[in-house]
């Protein structure tokens, strides 16, 4: 039904790595999203079925609206000081590290530096372009919508899908759904829906998963969304681009929690003709840093713009970056970037 996604040599290497009982740590990128958490919980469950010990370690906190994902509550968070010692202990004893939904250890900040100091072999299961080399098995498919899609296809090929648990199916669906805005972008391939059909057949309630993730929020968060769109969104009509800012004073005013601004960057793209949305938010821990999110439609290259102006990268239609400056300066840089890409934006 699904084509193989890894070569016979890779399959052999994977079999060998998993042949005897191992202590396996799973990791994901900073600011974990549904795909990061879902791919970790699903893969951890598969590995446990195969007889291994697993621990999932996130570099930093993930949003409350992902806490219901089966297994999410058991994760260690590296930047929580009370969990760091335990996380490092588990990592030191690990026989294998599974990198889920990230293409390099640098995507894990301090946790990545610690993982780099280990000698345990690594497996990468990811869909970001330009994967770092150095893993024993690298399964990278930038054409796929989510690490969870890559994982499902791997499970299919390895024969792990026939015993897929309901919790694994829920995790995989959550990752695919969140990385595609509930299948509204980057998901126009038949295989995506063939996988969904399998997950529904396994018993997931996709409508409930949607409600859990996208239709559940606090009154503060709803008001914050209104504020950011009404007060802080600038639209540069001639350039079909928009900029939204969010500083720490506003963050405190709305009692903002981790993940509350998730998805807001996509909203300006609802304006007819809009091609690019830039979201600038002040970092909570390092107020001199501005985190940058870019979203686009059609063929506008967010990753190129981010690499050139925002010290980042990512996908064509979704990229991230970081600036060290004031919010006013960040807005100026964003405007310069927009003007520089004028030809593509005005077209």
Residue ranges that bind Mn ion, judged by CB under 5 A: 35, 101, 146-147, 179
Are the C-beta atoms of 308 and 340 separated by less than 8 Å? yes
Choose between 245 and 261: whose C-beta lies nearer to Mn ion. 261
Choose between 37 and 244: whose C-beta lies nearer to Mn ion. 37
| Distance in Å, CB of 16 to Mn ion, minimum | 27
| Distance in Å, CB of 127 to Mn ion, minimum | 6
Choose between 150 and 330: whose C-beta lies nearer to Mn ion. 150
Choose between 179 and 260: whose C-beta lies nearer to Mn ion. 179
CA distance 336 to 329: 11
| Distance in Å, CB of 247 to Mn ion, minimum | 28
| Distance in Å, CB of 72 to Mn ion, minimum | 16
The CB-nearest residue to Mn ion is: 35
Choose between 265 and 274: whose C-beta lies nearer to Mn ion. 265
Q: Which of 154, 169, 175 is nearest to 101 (CA)?
A: 175
| Distance in Å, CB of 146 to Mn ion, minimum | 5
Choose between 177 and 337: whose C-beta lies nearer to Mn ion. 177
| Distance in Å, CB of 35 to Mn ion, minimum | 3
3-state secondary structure the chain: CCCCCCCHHHHHHHHHHCCCCCEEEEECCCCCCHHHHHHHHHHHHHHHHCCCEEEEEECCCCCHHHCCCCCHHHCEECCCHHHHHHHHHHHHHCCEEEEECCCCHHHHHHHHHHHHCCCCCEEEEECCCCCCCCCCEEEECCCCCCHHHHHHHHHHHHCCCCCCCHHHHHHHHHHHHHHCCCCCCCCCCHHHHHHHHHHHHCCCCHHHHHHHHHCCCCHHHHHHHHHHHHHHEEEEHHHCEEEEEECHHHHHHCCCCCCCCCCHHHHHHHCCCCCEEEEEEECCCCCCEEEEEEEECCCCCHHHHHHHHCCCEECCCEEEEEEECCHHHHHHHHHHHHHHCHHHHHC
CA distance 111 to 336: 34
Instruction: Count the neighbouring beta carbons within 10 Å of the beta carbon of residue 271.
Output: 14
Choose between 57 and 172: whose C-beta lies nearer to Mn ion. 172
| Distance in Å, CB of 28 to Mn ion, minimum | 9
Q: CA 318 from chain center: how many Å? A: 11
Q: What's the CA dihedral at 163, 1, 315, 32 to 10 degrees?
A: -10
| Distance in Å, CB of 175 to Mn ion, minimum | 7
Choose between 60 and 341: whose C-beta lies nearer to Mn ion. 60
Choose between 22 and 102: whose C-beta lies nearer to Mn ion. 102
| Distance in Å, CB of 128 to Mn ion, minimum | 7
């Amino acid at each position: 039904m699904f084509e193989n996604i890894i070569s016979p040599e890779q399959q052999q290497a994977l079999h060998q790595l998993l042949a005897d009982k191992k202590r396996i740590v799973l990791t994901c990128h900073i600011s974990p999203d549904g795909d990061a958490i879902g791919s970790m919980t699903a893969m951890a469950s598969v590995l446990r079925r195969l007889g291994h010990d697993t621990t999932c370690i996130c570099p930093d906190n993930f949003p409350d609206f992902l806490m219901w994902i089966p297994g999410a509550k058991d994760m260690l968070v590296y930047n929580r000081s009370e969990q760091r010692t335990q996380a490092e202990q588990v990592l030191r004893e690990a026989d294998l590290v599974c990198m889920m939904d990230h293409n390099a250890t640098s995507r894990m900040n301090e946790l990545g530096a610690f993982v780099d100091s280990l000698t345990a072999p690594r497996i990468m299961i990811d869909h970001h372009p330009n994967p770092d080399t150095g893993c024993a098995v690298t399964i990278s498919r930038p054409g796929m919508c989510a690490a969870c899609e890559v994982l499902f296809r791997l499970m299919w090929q390895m024969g792990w899908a026939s015993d897929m648990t309901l919790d694994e199916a829920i995790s995989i669906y959550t990752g695919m759904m969140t990385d595609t805005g509930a299948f509204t972008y980057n998901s126009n391939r038949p295989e995506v829906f063939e996988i969904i059909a399998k997950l529904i057949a396994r018993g997931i309630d996709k409508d409930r998963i949607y409600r859990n993730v996208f239709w559940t929020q606090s009154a503060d968060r709803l008001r914050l969304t209104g504020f950011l769109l009404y007060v802080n969104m600038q639209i540069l009509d001639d350039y079909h681009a928009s900029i939204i800012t969010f500083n720490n004073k506003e963050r405190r005013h709305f009692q903002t929690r981790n993940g509350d601004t998730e998805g807001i960057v996509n909203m300006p793209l609802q304006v007819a003709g809009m091609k690019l949305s830039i979201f600038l938010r002040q970092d909570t821990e390092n107020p001199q840093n501005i985190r940058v999110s870019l979203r686009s439609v059609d063929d506008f290259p967010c990753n190129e713009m981010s690499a050139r102006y925002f010290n980042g990268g990512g996908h064509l239609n979704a990229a991230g970056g970081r600036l060290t400056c004031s919010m006013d300066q960040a807005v100026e840089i964003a405007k310069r970037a927009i003007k520089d890409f004028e030809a593509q934006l005005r077209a």
